[in-house]
Amino acid sequence: MNQGTQGSMETGNPQRAQLSAGGMRVPQQPRAADVDRRRDAAAGAVRGEHTHSEAPIPRPRPAVQRSSVRGQILDALRTALVSGELTPGEVYSAPALGERFGVSATPVREAMQQLALEGAVEVVPNRGFRVIERGARELAELAEVRSLIEVPVMMRLARSMPVERWSDLRPLAEATVRAASSGCRATYAESDRAFHRGLLSLAGNDQLVQIAEDLHRRSQWPLVGGPASPARAELLADAAEHTALLDALTARDLDVVRSLVGEHFAGAR
């Protein structure tokens, strides 16, 4: 990791580091000695070796804890990708990122391996993980695939879904407007996915929702050489399309629905 990138990810507390974009703390992992001590005490309790005032210590569950930490780090890394804090083309090592999270390299490496499966990073042997550089062509291809999957579903729902069901999505649409008003790309990206996920879930096809969400997440990664974050006005315009879409769906105005979803994917970010 270069010095400038490292500096942007430091916090004031070296024991509990966090990514500045996500603002999410990752709990410090217990030291190996502490885990061993608790494990020995728990084993002694089972054998009746604990003394008068000592309460039995429950056996630690490191696998559950490790999974929880890995999940939190994965979420934080995804936020850093969307915000541009992890720079396209740069190589990041698991030990260096682990120091900044206040955890060992293992959960960071596992999270990065998941991001590699998602196409966000690639493994660089003996160095770490390089953030994939994406261009405008890939973004256009993702928008096209999303359109091919989501538009027919939306049109089918527009014809068949009881109009009162669209009111259930109104809070999600309003949340995208608030997120856009903040100007934070990562905050808006999360609320944007939540709205589309909620809409597509009405189709009752979990596989569809999962595939669409993966494509949506990929489309939110920044372009190489592009701005780190879109303008607030751009986010607000995108969010306004959500509320307009709900209005058209409620009115069963299929022509407006078709036009709005077409424009939405044409400018998808």
Q: Would you kindly state where each structural domain of the chain is located, as residue ranges?
A: 3-131, 136-266
- DSSP state letters, 32-87: HHHHHHHHHHHHHHHTT---TTPPPPPPP-HHHHHHHHHHHHHHHHHHHHHHT-S-
Tens of pLDDT, residue by residue over 68-78, are 888 999 999 99
Q: Determine which helix (DSSP H) or strand (DSSP E) holds 111, and give its type and residue range.
A: helix 105-118
Average pLDDT, the chain: 79
Angle, vertex CA 167, rays to CA 164 and CA 172, nearest 5: 155
Residue range 136-266, CATH number: 1.20.120.530
Q: What is the mean pLDDT of residues 149-167?
A: 94
- What is the fold, at CATH topology level, of the domain defined by 3-131? Arc Repressor Mutant, subunit A (1.10.10)
Tens of pLDDT, residue by residue over 206-224, are 999 999 999 999 998 888 7
Q: Is the dihedral of CA 54, 55, 58, 60 positive or negative?
A: negative
